[in-house]
Amino acid sequence: MGSYDFLVVGGGIAGLSAVIRLAEQGRVLCVTKESLAESNTSYAQGGIAVAMGGKVDVELHLSDTIGAGDGLVDQAAAETLVNEGPLRVEELLGWGTEFDRSAAGELLRTREGAHSLSRILHAHGDATGREIARALLAHVRLLPTVELREWTTTVDLVVEAGRVVGATLLDRDERLTEVRTGAVLIASGGAGQVYSDTTNPAVATGDGIAMAYRAGAAVEDMEFYQFHPTAFLGEGAPRFLLSEALRGEGALLVNARGERFMLAQHAQAELAPRDVVARAITREALDGPVYLDMRGVQGVEFRERFPGISGFLAEYQLDLARDLVPVRPAAHYLMGGIRTDVAGRTTLPGLYAAGEAACTGVHGANRLASNSLLEGLVFGVAAAASMIAEIGPVQTSDSTSSMKESLQTFHSSQLIEEWIAKLRDLMWRDAGLLRDAEGLHRAEAALQTMKESMPGGMTRREVEARNLFTVAGMIVQCALGREESRGAHFRNDFPKRNALAEHSILEQGRLRFEVCL
């Protein structure tokens, strides 16, 4: 084991794009909890939104991003995203990312909710994230100054004299070691597993956000959890994502009576912002099942355009061309996260964050569809640039003393799974799509009770359980504090938006609100 200048936690689009930059300046250790293939990035279907057509195109992307964010988007962050996006995507193309093209070689673009035009690039139909991850990883593997360490859980940050100087890592054999570096980037993604119904993979347990918060970093806008409107709803089936691109290609939403209910809800109907569609489906579902209906769509070869989705549905004897497909919203993306500026700096010296784990304010209260891959790409690179500028290459050593002997496992795995399932159920019921003070107080009390039986050991699952608990507490506290409805945060008891747009900031247990810039 050598020494590292930079530690990157997470191997999705934000982490890997940062690694590529950092590797030019020093030795980089990149750790992932499972294999590198298992990140939220790999599961992204619809595509990557980017305005490659010049000034007017970029301005439209900016106004769509700001519009979807319901008054809470930080202008500077959104400008960084749309202005730097095209350059970053050109780099991706240069590294061999195979976006879908027409027979004439033109990049194909699709449309999703709240976009004013078709600007979303996609790859292998509905496998955009997987293709981008493949291309990034192929590039990273060529870099001699990078060590990729899979199946490694980052447990906590090491803070000395108010500065992050490293992290404790738990390997596959449950050996605990401490790595010291010049700077740490958290790019470990979101926390969809805090809800019983999620499109996110099992690794999305909010680890990076929870450990940054424990270390003293501020988190922001944690109440804004985006629920994707259309996850598959089938007995015993996973909540598989049915990409918004299906609606972009013409799919309708119909209720149990076969009626299109979105026409009465929003001028953009099925392509309204996600929060609007998700709430409409939830309300409609009180009277019976809700379906995606693609049966009338002409001119799309479904198995070619959506091979992953078609293959998944075939396992349930469903065919997009023939069948109505039952759907229901599921937790999908956290707009909030570790508070950062547009250069990826957190409030804690030595600590940087990018991608879903971070909150630059770029998504405001509701993320525009397919802006998340672009976010990871743009802000991963930005964070790497500030790590290099502020820290520079420093030679540090890797302390590998094992701490395993001092640790014990207190809970059997079955008890942990039950404890986690209880947490996820209560969050879905009382802090999900439609909230009110009564439910949120119930969630708060239940979490307080669950704290007494919180797993205290040091297996990966126990670490995850504690992180989920921390994230759940933050969501509930911020949701209670925000007495308005805005974007993805809807309060039945405060159904209107406040005149003043404010970010919620949570730091060492204290919640405050700051006016959005």
Question: What is the C-alpha to C-alpha distance for residues 97 and 233, in angstroms, rounded to an integer?
Answer: 32
Q: Which of 32, 97, 310, 370 binds ligand SIN (CB under 6 A)?
A: 370
**Of 372 and 477, which has the nearer Cβ to ligand SIN?**
372
**Nearest-approach distance from CB 223 to ligand SIN, in angstroms:** 19
The dihedral of CA 197, 201, 203, 205: what is its sign? negative
Rounded to 5 degrees, what angle do the CA atoms 368, 371, 373 make? 150
CB-based closest residue to ligand SIN = 46
| Window of 40-48, 148-156, 253-261, 419-427 that interacts with ligand SIN by CB under 6 A | 40-48
Residue number with CB closer to ligand SIN (380 or 439): 380
> Which residues on neighbouring strands pair with residue 231, listed in sequence order?
241, 328
Asked if 198 touches ligand SIN (CB under 6 A), the answer is no
Supply the angle between the helices 13-22 and 128-140 in degrees, to the nearest 10: 20
Residue span binding ligand SIN (CB under 6 A) among the ranges 92-100, 156-164, 240-248, 294-302: 240-248
Choice between 221 and 244, CB closer to ligand SIN: 244
Residue from the set 10, 26, 46, 166 that interacts with ligand SIN by CB under 6 A: 46
Q: CA triplet 269, 271, 273: central angle to 5 degrees?
A: 100
Cα angle 496, 500, 502 (rounded to 5 degrees) comes to 100
Name which of 192 and 350 has its Cβ closer to ligand SIN.
192
Taking the least distance from each CB to ligand SIN, the nearer of 332 and 466 is 332
243 touches ligand SIN (CB under 6 A): yes
Q: Which is nearer to ligand SIN, 158 or 313 (CB)?
A: 313
Kindly tell me which residue out of 41, 45, 198, 200 binds ligand SIN, with binding defined by CB under 6 A.
Answer: 45
> Which segment (38-46, 203-211, 308-316, 354-362) binds ligand SIN by CB under 6 A?
38-46
Secondary structure of 74-109 in HEC code, one letter for each residue: CHHHHHHHHHHHHHHHHHHHHCCCCCCECCCCCECE
Residues catalogued as catalytic: 274
φ/ψ of 427, rounded to 5, equals: -65, -40
From 18-26, 155-163, 251-259, 365-373, give the range in contact with ligand SIN by CB under 6 A.
365-373
3-state helix, strand, coil in the chain (%, to 5): 35, 20, 45
DSSP reduced 3-state for 18:
helix
375 closest CA partner among 97, 77, 170: 77
Q: Could you tell me whether strands 351-353 and 183-186 are parallel, antiparallel, or unpaired per DSSP bridges?
A: parallel
The dihedral formed by the CA atoms of 23, 77, 486 and 327, expressed in degrees to the nearest 10: -40
Q: Which of residues 160-179 bind ligand SIN (CB under 6 A)?
A: none
Q: Is 5 in the site for ligand SIN (CB under 6 A)?
A: no
Q: How far is the CB of 95 from ligand SIN (least distance, A)?
A: 21
- By C-beta, is 32 or 372 nearer to ligand SIN? 372
Applying CB under 6 A, the span of 39-47, 201-209, 476-484, 489-497 interacting with ligand SIN comes to 39-47
Contacts with ligand SIN by CB under 6 A: the residue count is: 11
Give the Cβ contact number of residue 64 at 10 Å: 24
Q: Which amino acid, residue 224?
A: F
Name which position in 25, 372, 470, 485 contacts ligand SIN (CB under 6 A): 372
Considering only CA atoms, which of 233, 425, 192 is closest in space to residue 331? Answer: 192
**Residues binding ligand SIN (CB under 6 A):** 44-46, 243-245, 332-333, 369-370, 372
